[in-house]
């Protein structure tokens, strides 16, 4: 009987791992590859800010797990993981229901020989009063689409009313990559909505406030990157507040620790991450304060060699002589997925597993169609700063590389061609 590898989580890392293992071990019958996820489709998480602003139509950029499984020799199971029994080597999947509450797929168990947890992360509101009730998070496609519907409702309501309030205020908590990119994308959306005739709210009347508790935007990146981003955002009319921790969120807006009130009709929380609560004390596995599973450099969990974890849900040592962990970034998940493809081939042969070493290839931040900025890091060139059109092209290429890993070169080329043709026939912004 072939080795059974169960992967939980169809995000960028988990889906790439399932696809590549399916093409190699699964196709040759050396292992049975199973991917489990609570959704039927996948969308690249770094695109969710574009879905929220309406710049991207999520239905045209989603991947169907069932079809991907058929094309790449793995099995897909619909369901959200609800438990783990390490002694019996099974995971539990909760029942799945339709919109009317009827059971679609019953609760069940999946057996494994090797288990890989790649369930990603969710936004961490740090227990801030009112944040969960009044803010929208951008962890899922559904949340991004909900924000877009709310934004569009404001414009349609203003367009239909004779004496409408001609302003809309948006507050974004957290000036990391998601918050910064969302702010720029919303400014772009305001111009596009006005161009399509929804002009009771003029672009200058969309008041966007970006709030960061730290001393500068993009605190995880070098200051030589964050400084020009800060400057560009202010040129776009975005109000940037640094050193401002949010103490409370209400229906009317936000209150900072310094006592300043920020009125906002739409509120997004994009500050901090934590792994899903399910992972905390999951059948005795070691986890940290933000629910991440603690793993060794081989990406095996510290208390079970048959269970692996990677991506945002794993606390993997950086290996630089400090107690820091690998940062929760897309490039880390991609690197770790590549390592695990090699590791499982070795594991089936009974050979030692390789250690993961994080390689920082730099960061790129998109400011919608206005600009992009970032730095690329390599052995030959060191650290090279990029801005403007060239940085924008490199940023777009990151998504194409993700598509290449999932679809292959030829199908990715067809997708690029389709996108190019669609620009001349589709509206520049999703208007529904």
pLDDT tens for 135-182 read 999 999 999 999 999 999 988 888 787 655 568 899 999 999 999 999
Structural domain spans, the chain = 3-121+275-348, 126-270, 362-422
Task: Give the residue, 93 or 416, on which the prediction is more confident.
Answer: 93
Could you say which architecture CATH assigns to the domain 3-121+275-348?
3-Layer(bba) Sandwich (3.50)
Rounded to whole angstroms, the maximal C-alpha distance in the chain is 74
pLDDT band at 380 (very low <50, low <70, confident <90, very high): very low
Ranges of beta strands (E only) in 295-428 are: 300-301, 304-309, 314-315, 362-367, 371-378, 382-387
Model confidence band, residue 203 (pLDDT cutoffs 50, 70, 90): confident
Which is more confident, 419 or 410?
A: 410
| CA 64 – CA 134 distance, rounded (Å) | 32
**What mean pLDDT, rounded, does the chain reach?**
90
Residue with token string 């940037």? 240
pLDDT, greater one: 290 or 164? 290
The reported pLDDT for the residue numbered 367 is 84
300 or 415, higher pLDDT: 300
Per-residue confidence band for 425, with pLDDT thresholds at 50, 70 and 90: low
Residue 381 in this model has a pLDDT that exceeds 50: no
More confident residue, 150 or 393: 150
pLDDT at 126: 92
pLDDT at 165: 58
61 and 45 Cβ atoms separated by less than 8 Å: no
Global pTM reads: 0.91
Return the higher-pLDDT residue of 423 and 328: 328
pLDDT of residue 383: 58
* CA distances, 101 to each of 92, 118, 186 (Å): 20, 27, 35
* Mean pLDDT on 113-130: 95
Q: Give the model's pLDDT for residue 366.
A: 81
Residue 382 has pLDDT above 60, yes or no: no
325-338 per-position pLDDT tens digit: 999 988 899 999 99
Fold designation for 126-270 = FAD/NAD(P)-binding domain (3.50.50)
pLDDT of residue 58: 82
Beta bridge partners of 211: 173, 241
Q: Which residue has the tokens 């069932």?
A: 66
Strand order in the sheet with 300-301: 75-78, 31-37, 3-8, 114-117, 304-309, 300-301
β-bridge pairing 246-249 and 108-111: unpaired
Rounded mean pLDDT, 420-431: 71
Query: Does residue 236 have a pLDDT over 80?
Result: yes
Average pLDDT of span 206-210: 95
Which tokens hold the place of 134?
């009044």
**Range with the largest mean pLDDT of 93-102, 114-123, 191-200:** 114-123
Listed in sequence order, the residues at least 6 apart from 150 whose beta carbon sits closer than 8 Å to its beta carbon are 136, 266
Q: Which residues pair with 254 in a beta bridge?
A: 249, 262
Of 29-43, 367-381, 386-400, give the lowest mean pLDDT range.
367-381
Lowest mean pLDDT among 229-238, 364-373, 381-390: 381-390
Q: How far apart are CA 389 and CA 374, in angstroms?
A: 11
Determine the pLDDT at residue 201: 83
Give the whole-number percent of the chain exceeding pLDDT 90.
Answer: 66
Q: Give the model's pLDDT for residue 385.
A: 62
HSE-CB at 425 with a 13 A cutoff on CA atoms is 5
Nearest-angstrom CA–CA distance, 132 and 235: 31
Q: Which residues contact 5 (CB under 8 A, 6 or more apart)?
A: 21, 25, 31, 32, 33, 34, 112, 113, 114, 115, 116, 344
Alpha carbon distance 407, 64 (integer Å): 12
Average of pLDDT values for 302-308?
Answer: 98
């Amino acid at each position: 009987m072939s080795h059974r590898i169960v992967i939980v989580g169809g995000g960028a890392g988990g889906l790439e791992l399932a696809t590549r293992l399916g093409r190699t071990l699964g196709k040759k019958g050396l292992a049975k590859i199973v991917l489990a996820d609570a959704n039927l489709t996948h969308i690249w998480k770094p695109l969710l800010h574009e879905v929220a602003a309406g710049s991207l139509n999520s239905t045209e950029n989603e991947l169907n797990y069932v079809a991907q499984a058929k094309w790449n020799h793995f099995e897909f199971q619909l369901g959200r993981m609800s438990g783990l029994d390490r002694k019996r080597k099974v995971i539990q999947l909760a029942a799945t229901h339709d919109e009317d509450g009827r059971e679609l797929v019953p609760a069940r168990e999946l057996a494994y020989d090797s288990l890989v947890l790649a369930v990603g992360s969710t936004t961490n509101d740090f227990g801030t009063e009112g944040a969960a009730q009044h803010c929208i998070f951008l962890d899922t496609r559904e949340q991004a689409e909900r924000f877009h519907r709310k934004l569009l409702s404001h414009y349609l309501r203003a367009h239909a009313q004779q004496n409408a309030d001609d302003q809309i205020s948006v507050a974004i908590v957290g000036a990391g990559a998601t918050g910064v990119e969302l702010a720029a994308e919303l400014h772009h959306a305001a111009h596009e909505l006005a161009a399509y005739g929804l002009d009771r709210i003029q672009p200058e009347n969309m008041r966007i406030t970006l709030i960061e508790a730290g001393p500068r935007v993009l605190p995880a990146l070098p200051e030589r990157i964050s400084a020009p981003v800060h400057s560009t955002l202010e040129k776009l009319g975005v109000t940037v507040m640094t050193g401002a921790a949010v103490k409370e969120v209400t229906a009317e807006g936000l209150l900072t620790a310094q006592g300043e009130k920020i009125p906002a009709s739409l509120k997004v929380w994009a500050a901090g991450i934590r792994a899903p609560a399910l992972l905390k004390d999951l059948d005795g596995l070691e986890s940290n304060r933000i629910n991440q599973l603690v793993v060794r450099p081989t990406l095996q969990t510290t208390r079970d060699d048959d269970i692996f974890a990677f991506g945002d849900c794993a606390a993997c040592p950086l290996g630089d002589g400090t107690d820091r962990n690998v940062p929760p970034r897309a490039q880390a998940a991609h690197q770790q997925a590549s390592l695990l493809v090699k590791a499982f081939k070795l594991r089936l042969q009974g050979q030692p597993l390789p250690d993961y070493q994080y390689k920082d290839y730099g960061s790129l931040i998109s400011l919608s169609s206005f600009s992009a900025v970032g730095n690329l890091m390599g052995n030959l060139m060191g650290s090279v700063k990029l801005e403007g059109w060239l940085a924008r092209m490199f940023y777009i290429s990151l998504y194409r590389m993700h598509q290449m890993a999932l679809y292959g070169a030829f199908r990715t080329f067809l997708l690029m061609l389709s996108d190019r043709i669609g620009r001349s026939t589709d509206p520049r912004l999703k208007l529904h």
